[in-house]
């Protein structure tokens, strides 16, 4: 699985680069403007609504599909999936209609301080983006179905192609239609992604709609019942997102600052979480159903170590020289003061990415072991802690409260889930070793860079920090005998004999 995960990771890294370039274009064209705040509020509001309604189903679909397939056969599982597809599509169309008719309801939650022209602009943007609710859910379900059939690479290639299309359209259209270029590029890319996913499903012989198909709500029930424990934490999670947006919308540009600073950690984290959801959950579910506990732990441990090693690299680079990354991407659309704020927020969000990753991967293990309700309770606790911290401390600390609350809430709940791991394990020792490596590498890179590295050119600064990171990380991996040394030696020997 690690080899396949590495291939997916490579594709997602390329997508990451394209996504960061798109963010750079957005900063260049729109900066910290009210227009971009409105775009972000409307888009994120609809995505929050999508996660509120379909998030639990999407998160648990792969595991439930494999359980049904193993116990009752592939044809039976596929027939139920067809009914689920029709059900989610019908409900999504209904919700799109509600958003078109009553956008003011969502707008009041997203930006309670908006009035006059800013409120009218937000209402118009919600109406324009409303169909994205249907497109997003359809895309997520089709990707889940492909993953359940063992197709992991094609969805990644499709996503990369759509990301490149977004870049091209932004460059071509923004000088002519302004903020609407974001709308056009988003619709064009997601439509292309849907088309590519449908083509791949057709090649696999998976047909979701045909004349002989008969919808049955009883066929949908197993998926809904399996996901029920997750609706409460998902509701709390989306409430937390709305609280963040409402607090930040009181200041022009704050929503964009949060978005720009989160991208440096969110995009790599989405890469890792995506691999966890698409690959790890189905594999662990299969091992658990067949009572292969040693295989369950081995696969989890491999992905766990892989993720922690990536976080060591990510955190070391973005904590030691965030200003260089921010300057490269955002210097054309921000002042020095604004870039400094984004740099500080970036450091905090990178730190919070570590407990978020632990929260996600431990949750994946609980889902695969049919203990999703425990994950759900921890998810609810995390969101309630985060909402409380934000409401209590936002006036005192401003937007810096948001990444701090994210770190604290997910660290607490990840620790609880670690104690509830489904099989006997030695994760405690593994975690201590990798966290010791993470802290030592980050500390050394940070202080050495502050002492000996000062370069005006941001590209050269990043290069020097990267060389410093590798010069510390590789010797540490070999000296302390981390598992990754075997992979490095194996690949090096292959290179020598090629």
Q: What is the pLDDT of residues 445-466, one digit of tens each?
A: 888 877 665 556 788 888 888 8
pLDDT at 95: 94
Mean residue pLDDT of the chain comes to: 84
Q: Is residue 176 in a domain?
A: no
Based on its alpha-carbon atoms, the radius of gyration of the chain, rounded to whole angstroms, reads: 23
Q: Which of 161-165, 282-286, 339-343, 487-491 is modeled with the greatest confidence?
A: 339-343
Least confident of 107-111, 328-332, 367-371, 428-432: 328-332
Domain contains 6: no
pLDDT band at 257 (very low <50, low <70, confident <90, very high): confident
Evaluate whether residue 336 is within a structural domain. yes
Name, in order, each residue with C-beta under 8 angstroms of 284's C-beta and a sequence gap of 6 or more.
Answer: 296, 299, 300, 364, 365, 368, 369
Predicted local distance difference test score (pLDDT) of residue 493: 72
Q: 291 lies in a domain? A: yes
Look at the chain and report how many structural domains it folds into. 1
User: Which residue, 467, 481, 482, 478, is CA-closest to 313?
Assistant: 467
| 26-38 per-residue burial string, b: 16 or more CB within 10 A, e: under 16 | bbbbbbbebbbbb
What pLDDT is recorded for position 382?
Answer: 92
Residue 294 lies in a domain: yes
Each residue's pLDDT tens digit, 59-68: 788 778 878 8
Q: Is residue 457 part of a domain?
A: yes
Q: Is residue 91 part of a domain?
A: no
**Which letter, b or e, does each residue of 238-277 get, where b requires 16 or more Cβ atoms within 10 Å of its Cβ?**
bbbbbbbbbbbbeeebbbbbbbbbbbbbbbbbebbbbbbb
Which tens digits make up the pLDDT trace of 155-173? Answer: 667 777 877 888 888 888 8
Q: Which pLDDT score, from 0 to 100, does residue 455 have? A: 58
* Overall average pLDDT of the 354-366 stretch: 91
User: Containing domain of residue 438, as a range?
Assistant: 253-492
pLDDT at 116 over 80: yes
Task: Report the pLDDT value the prediction gives residue 278, as an integer from 0 to 100.
Answer: 64
- Alpha-carbon separation of residue 386 from 113, 255, 403 (angstroms): 22, 18, 10
- Read off the pLDDT band of 480 (50, 70, 90): confident
Buried b vs exposed e over 309-345: b needs ≥16 C-beta within 10 Å?
Answer: bbbbbbbbbbbbbbbbbbbebbeebbeeebbebbbbb
Of the listed ranges 5-14, 61-70, 318-327, 341-350, the least confidently predicted one is: 5-14
Residue 9 lies in a domain: no
């Amino acid at each position: 699985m690690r080899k396949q995960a590495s291939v997916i990771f490579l594709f997602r890294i390329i997508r990451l680069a394209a996504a960061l370039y798109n963010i750079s274009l957005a900063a260049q064209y729109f900066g910290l403007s009210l227009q971009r705040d409105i775009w972000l509020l409307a888009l994120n509001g609809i995505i929050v609504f999508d996660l509120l309604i379909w998030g639990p189903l999407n998160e648990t679909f792969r595991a439930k599909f494999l359980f049904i397939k193993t116990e009752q056969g592939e044809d039976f599982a596929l027939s139920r999936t067809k009914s689920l597809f029709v059900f989610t599509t019908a409900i999504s169309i209904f919700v799109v209609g509600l958003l078109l008719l009553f956008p003011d309801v969502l707008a009041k939650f997203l930006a309670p301080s908006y009035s006059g022209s800013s409120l009218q602009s937000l209402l118009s943007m919600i109406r324009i983006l409303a169909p994205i609710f249907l497109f997003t859910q359809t895309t997520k379900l089709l990707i889940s179905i492909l993953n359940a059939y063992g197709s992991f690479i094609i969805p990644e290639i499709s996503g990369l192609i759509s990301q490149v299309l977004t870049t091209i359209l932004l460059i071509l259209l923004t000088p002519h239609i302004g903020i609407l270029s974001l709308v056009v590029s988003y619709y064009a890319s997601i439509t292309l992604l849907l088309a590519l996913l449908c083509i791949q499903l057709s090649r696999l012989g998976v047909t979701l709609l045909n004349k002989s198909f008969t919808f049955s709500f009883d066929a949908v029930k197993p998926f809904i019942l399996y996901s029920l424990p997750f609706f409460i934490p998902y509701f709390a999670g989306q409430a937390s997102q709305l609280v963040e947006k409402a607090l930040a919308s009181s200041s022009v540009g704050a929503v964009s600052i949060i978005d720009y600073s989160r991208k440096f950690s969110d995009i790599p984290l989405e890469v890792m979480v995506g691999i966890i959801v698409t690959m790890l959950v189905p594999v662990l579910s299969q091992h658990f159903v067949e009572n292969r506990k040693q295989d369950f732990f081995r696969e989890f441990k491999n992905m766990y170590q892989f993720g922690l090693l990536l976080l060591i690299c990510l955190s070391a680079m973005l904590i030691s020289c965030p200003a260089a990354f921010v300057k490269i991407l955002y210097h054309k659309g921000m002042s020095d003061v604004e870039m400094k704020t984004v740099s500080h927020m970036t450091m905090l969000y990178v730190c919070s990415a570590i407990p978020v990753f632990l929260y996600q991967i431990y949750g994946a293990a609980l889902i695969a072991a049919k203990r999703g309700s425990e994950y759900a309770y921890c998810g609810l606790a995390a969101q309630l802690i985060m909402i409380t911290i934000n409401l209590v401390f936002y006036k005192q600390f401003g937007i810096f409260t948001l990444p701090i609350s994210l770190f604290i809430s997910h660290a607490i709940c990840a620790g609880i889930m670690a104690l509830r791991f489904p099989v006997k394990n030695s994760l405690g020792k593994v975690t201590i070793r990798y966290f010791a490596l993470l802290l030592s590498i980050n500390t050394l890179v940070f202080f050495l860079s502050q002492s000996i590295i000062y370069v005006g050119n941001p590209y050269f600064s990043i290069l020097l920090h990267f060389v410093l990171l590798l010069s510390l990380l590789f010797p540490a991996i070999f000296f302390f005998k981390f598992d990754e040394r075997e992979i490095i030696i194996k690949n090096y020997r292959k290179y020598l004999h090629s």
